[in-house]
Amino acid sequence: METTTIILLLVTAYLLGSIPTAVWWGKRYYGIDVREFGSGNAGATNTFRVLGKKAGIPVLCIDILKGTVAVLLAHFSPFVFDSNEFVNLELGLGIAALVGHVFPIFAGFRGGKGVATILGIVICLTPITSLLVLGVFLIVLLATRYVSLSSITAGLSFPFFLNIVLKNQNQTLLIFSIFVAALLVITHKKNITRLLKRQETKVNFFTKKV
Protein backbone atom coordinates (compact mmCIF):
# COMPACT_ATOMS: atom_id res chain seq x y z
CA MET A 1 0.00 0.00 0.00
CA GLU A 2 2.84 2.38 0.91
CA THR A 3 4.64 1.70 -2.38
CA THR A 4 1.44 2.21 -4.38
CA THR A 5 0.85 5.57 -2.66
CA ILE A 6 4.37 6.76 -3.40
CA ILE A 7 4.10 5.73 -7.07
CA LEU A 8 0.76 7.53 -7.41
CA LEU A 9 2.21 10.67 -5.81
CA LEU A 10 5.24 10.60 -8.15
CA VAL A 11 3.03 10.16 -11.21
CA THR A 12 0.79 13.00 -10.01
CA ALA A 13 3.82 15.26 -9.52
CA TYR A 14 5.06 14.46 -13.03
CA LEU A 15 1.65 15.20 -14.56
CA LEU A 16 1.46 18.43 -12.57
CA GLY A 17 4.85 19.47 -13.88
CA SER A 18 3.77 18.48 -17.39
CA ILE A 19 1.15 21.22 -17.52
CA PRO A 20 2.63 23.30 -20.39
CA THR A 21 1.64 26.68 -19.00
CA ALA A 22 3.46 28.76 -21.60
CA VAL A 23 2.15 26.69 -24.52
CA TRP A 24 -1.46 26.62 -23.38
CA TRP A 25 -1.50 30.29 -22.33
CA GLY A 26 0.02 31.43 -25.62
CA LYS A 27 -2.37 29.35 -27.72
CA ARG A 28 -5.45 30.22 -25.66
CA TYR A 29 -5.00 33.99 -25.46
CA TYR A 30 -2.69 34.83 -28.38
CA GLY A 31 -3.07 31.99 -30.86
CA ILE A 32 0.70 31.45 -30.63
CA ASP A 33 2.87 28.50 -29.69
CA VAL A 34 5.78 30.22 -27.93
CA ARG A 35 8.04 27.31 -28.88
CA GLU A 36 7.95 28.54 -32.47
CA PHE A 37 9.42 31.91 -31.52
CA GLY A 38 12.29 33.37 -29.51
CA SER A 39 14.46 30.71 -27.88
CA GLY A 40 11.98 27.96 -28.73
CA ASN A 41 11.48 27.01 -25.07
CA ALA A 42 8.12 26.60 -23.36
CA GLY A 43 9.04 28.55 -20.26
CA ALA A 44 8.32 31.83 -18.56
CA THR A 45 11.44 33.57 -19.92
CA ASN A 46 10.52 32.90 -23.52
CA THR A 47 6.93 33.89 -22.79
CA PHE A 48 8.14 37.25 -21.50
CA ARG A 49 10.33 37.58 -24.60
CA VAL A 50 7.62 36.66 -27.12
CA LEU A 51 4.38 37.83 -25.50
CA GLY A 52 5.45 40.35 -22.86
CA LYS A 53 4.69 40.85 -19.17
CA LYS A 54 0.94 40.38 -19.43
CA ALA A 55 1.46 36.76 -20.43
CA GLY A 56 4.83 36.17 -18.78
CA ILE A 57 3.81 36.97 -15.20
CA PRO A 58 0.95 34.41 -14.91
CA VAL A 59 3.05 31.76 -16.68
CA LEU A 60 5.93 32.42 -14.27
CA CYS A 61 3.66 32.21 -11.21
CA ILE A 62 1.99 28.98 -12.34
CA ASP A 63 5.32 27.35 -13.21
CA ILE A 64 6.63 28.22 -9.72
CA LEU A 65 3.46 26.82 -8.15
CA LYS A 66 3.90 23.55 -10.05
CA GLY A 67 7.13 22.91 -8.17
CA THR A 68 5.76 23.99 -4.80
CA VAL A 69 2.53 22.01 -5.02
CA ALA A 70 4.40 18.91 -6.20
CA VAL A 71 6.60 18.98 -3.10
CA LEU A 72 3.56 19.53 -0.86
CA LEU A 73 2.09 16.27 -2.15
CA ALA A 74 4.46 14.55 0.31
CA HIS A 75 1.95 15.41 3.04
CA PHE A 76 -0.36 12.77 1.54
CA SER A 77 2.26 10.09 2.16
CA PRO A 78 2.42 7.79 5.20
CA PHE A 79 5.81 9.21 6.24
CA VAL A 80 6.31 11.28 9.38
CA PHE A 81 6.77 14.98 8.63
CA ASP A 82 10.43 16.06 8.51
CA SER A 83 11.75 12.51 8.71
CA ASN A 84 14.46 11.45 6.26
CA GLU A 85 11.87 9.45 4.31
CA PHE A 86 9.58 12.47 4.12
CA VAL A 87 12.36 14.80 2.90
CA ASN A 88 13.52 12.24 0.35
CA LEU A 89 9.98 11.93 -0.98
CA GLU A 90 9.70 15.73 -1.18
CA LEU A 91 12.81 15.78 -3.33
CA GLY A 92 11.55 12.90 -5.46
CA LEU A 93 8.25 14.68 -6.06
CA GLY A 94 10.03 17.92 -6.91
CA ILE A 95 12.29 16.14 -9.40
CA ALA A 96 9.27 14.37 -10.93
CA ALA A 97 7.59 17.75 -11.47
CA LEU A 98 10.80 19.16 -12.92
CA VAL A 99 11.08 16.26 -15.37
CA GLY A 100 7.45 16.90 -16.31
CA HIS A 101 8.16 20.56 -17.00
CA VAL A 102 11.19 19.81 -19.16
CA PHE A 103 9.57 16.82 -20.88
CA PRO A 104 5.79 17.45 -20.68
CA ILE A 105 3.59 14.59 -21.81
CA PHE A 106 0.85 17.12 -22.67
CA ALA A 107 3.06 19.05 -25.12
CA GLY A 108 5.00 16.47 -27.08
CA PHE A 109 7.78 16.31 -24.47
CA ARG A 110 9.01 19.78 -25.55
CA GLY A 111 9.04 21.93 -22.44
CA GLY A 112 11.05 24.64 -20.74
CA LYS A 113 14.33 24.70 -18.86
CA GLY A 114 12.72 24.40 -15.44
CA VAL A 115 14.11 27.50 -13.73
CA ALA A 116 10.74 28.68 -12.35
CA THR A 117 9.73 25.15 -11.32
CA ILE A 118 13.06 24.66 -9.54
CA LEU A 119 12.44 27.91 -7.67
CA GLY A 120 9.05 26.58 -6.57
CA ILE A 121 10.66 23.39 -5.32
CA VAL A 122 13.38 25.25 -3.41
CA ILE A 123 10.87 27.69 -1.89
CA CYS A 124 9.03 24.75 -0.36
CA LEU A 125 12.12 22.79 0.72
CA THR A 126 14.28 25.60 2.08
CA PRO A 127 12.67 29.07 2.03
CA ILE A 128 15.73 30.96 3.33
CA THR A 129 17.95 29.50 0.61
CA SER A 130 15.37 30.40 -2.02
CA LEU A 131 15.43 34.05 -0.90
CA LEU A 132 19.23 34.16 -1.11
CA VAL A 133 19.23 32.51 -4.54
CA LEU A 134 16.48 34.83 -5.77
CA GLY A 135 18.54 37.78 -4.55
CA VAL A 136 21.49 36.60 -6.66
CA PHE A 137 19.23 36.20 -9.68
CA LEU A 138 17.80 39.72 -9.36
CA ILE A 139 21.19 41.35 -8.78
CA VAL A 140 22.74 39.69 -11.84
CA LEU A 141 19.63 40.41 -13.93
CA LEU A 142 19.59 44.11 -13.03
CA ALA A 143 23.34 44.37 -13.62
CA THR A 144 23.50 42.51 -16.95
CA ARG A 145 19.90 42.16 -18.23
CA TYR A 146 20.73 38.56 -19.21
CA VAL A 147 18.08 36.15 -17.88
CA SER A 148 20.18 33.13 -18.84
CA LEU A 149 23.27 34.37 -16.98
CA SER A 150 21.10 35.26 -13.99
CA SER A 151 19.58 31.76 -13.95
CA ILE A 152 22.96 30.03 -14.25
CA THR A 153 24.54 32.18 -11.53
CA ALA A 154 21.58 31.67 -9.20
CA GLY A 155 21.71 27.92 -9.81
CA LEU A 156 25.42 27.76 -9.02
CA SER A 157 24.86 29.77 -5.85
CA PHE A 158 22.23 27.29 -4.61
CA PRO A 159 24.62 24.59 -3.28
CA PHE A 160 26.89 27.30 -1.86
CA PHE A 161 24.14 28.98 0.18
CA LEU A 162 22.49 25.72 1.22
CA ASN A 163 25.58 23.75 2.24
CA ILE A 164 28.22 26.37 3.12
CA VAL A 165 26.26 29.34 4.43
CA LEU A 166 23.28 27.53 5.99
CA LYS A 167 25.30 24.37 6.82
CA ASN A 168 22.84 21.80 5.50
CA GLN A 169 23.35 18.35 7.04
CA ASN A 170 21.00 16.37 4.81
CA GLN A 171 23.00 14.39 2.25
CA THR A 172 20.05 14.03 -0.12
CA LEU A 173 19.56 17.80 -0.18
CA LEU A 174 23.28 18.20 -0.81
CA ILE A 175 23.10 15.92 -3.85
CA PHE A 176 19.94 17.68 -5.05
CA SER A 177 21.58 21.11 -4.84
CA ILE A 178 24.53 19.93 -6.95
CA PHE A 179 22.10 18.30 -9.40
CA VAL A 180 20.19 21.57 -9.79
CA ALA A 181 23.37 23.58 -10.39
CA ALA A 182 24.59 21.09 -13.00
CA LEU A 183 21.18 20.88 -14.67
CA LEU A 184 20.93 24.64 -15.12
CA VAL A 185 24.36 24.76 -16.71
CA ILE A 186 23.53 21.86 -19.04
CA THR A 187 20.14 23.23 -20.11
CA HIS A 188 21.69 26.62 -20.81
CA LYS A 189 24.53 25.36 -23.02
CA LYS A 190 23.28 27.26 -26.07
CA ASN A 191 22.84 30.39 -23.97
CA ILE A 192 26.41 30.06 -22.67
CA THR A 193 27.67 29.85 -26.25
CA ARG A 194 25.71 32.98 -27.19
CA LEU A 195 26.96 34.77 -24.07
CA LEU A 196 30.57 34.01 -24.98
CA LYS A 197 29.94 35.30 -28.49
CA ARG A 198 28.05 38.32 -27.09
CA GLN A 199 24.99 37.30 -29.09
CA GLU A 200 22.62 36.61 -26.18
CA THR A 201 19.44 38.72 -26.08
CA LYS A 202 19.09 41.14 -23.21
CA VAL A 203 15.86 41.84 -21.37
CA ASN A 204 14.32 45.23 -22.02
CA PHE A 205 12.37 46.05 -18.87
CA PHE A 206 10.42 48.78 -20.61
CA THR A 207 9.37 47.04 -23.83
CA LYS A 208 5.66 46.43 -24.17
CA LYS A 209 4.31 43.43 -26.03
CA VAL A 210 0.82 42.57 -27.16
DSSP state of 16: H
Average pLDDT over residues 127-145: 95
Is residue 205 in a domain? no
Is residue 203 in a domain? no
Residue type, 150: S
- C-alpha 127/C-alpha 115 separation (Å) is 16
- Work out how many domains the chain is built from and give that number: 1
- C-alpha 117/C-alpha 98 separation (Å) is 6
The tens digit of pLDDT for each residue in 47-99 reads 998 999 899 999 999 999 999 999 999 999 999 887 889 999 999 999 999 99
Is residue 151 in a domain? yes
**Would you state the pLDDT for residue 38?**
85
Query: Does the pLDDT value for residue 17 go beyond 50?
Result: yes
**Would you state the pLDDT for residue 49?**
87
Average pLDDT over residues 14-23: 97
Residue type, 77: S
Cα dihedral across residues 200, 202, 203, 206: positive or negative: negative
**Would you state the pLDDT for residue 208?**
52
- C-alpha 181/C-alpha 197 separation (Å) is 23
- State what percent of residues in the chain have pLDDT above 90: 80
- State what percent of residues in the chain have pLDDT above 70: 97
Predicted confidence band of residue 148 (pLDDT cuts 50, 70, 90): very high
Query: Does the pLDDT value for residue 206 go beyond 90?
Result: no
**pLDDT greater at residue 11 or residue 1:** 11
| Cβ–Cβ < 8 Å for 77, 5 | yes
Is residue 208 in a domain? no
HEC sequence for 75-139:
HHCCCCCCCHHHHHHHHHHHHHHHHHHHCCHHHCCCCCCCHHHHHHHHHHHCHHHHHHHHHHHHH
**Would you state the pLDDT for residue 1?**
63
| Cβ–Cβ < 8 Å for 130, 165 | no
DSSP state of 198: T
The tens digit of pLDDT for each residue in 170-184 reads 898 999 999 999 999
Q: Is the pTM of this model over 0.85?
A: yes
Predicted confidence band of residue 210 (pLDDT cuts 50, 70, 90): very low
Is residue 204 in a domain? no
Q: Which helix (H) or strand (E) holds 71?
A: helix 53-72
| Cβ–Cβ < 8 Å for 25, 59 | yes
Is residue 11 in a domain? yes
Predicted confidence band of residue 32 (pLDDT cuts 50, 70, 90): very high
Q: Which domain holds residue 52?
A: 2-196
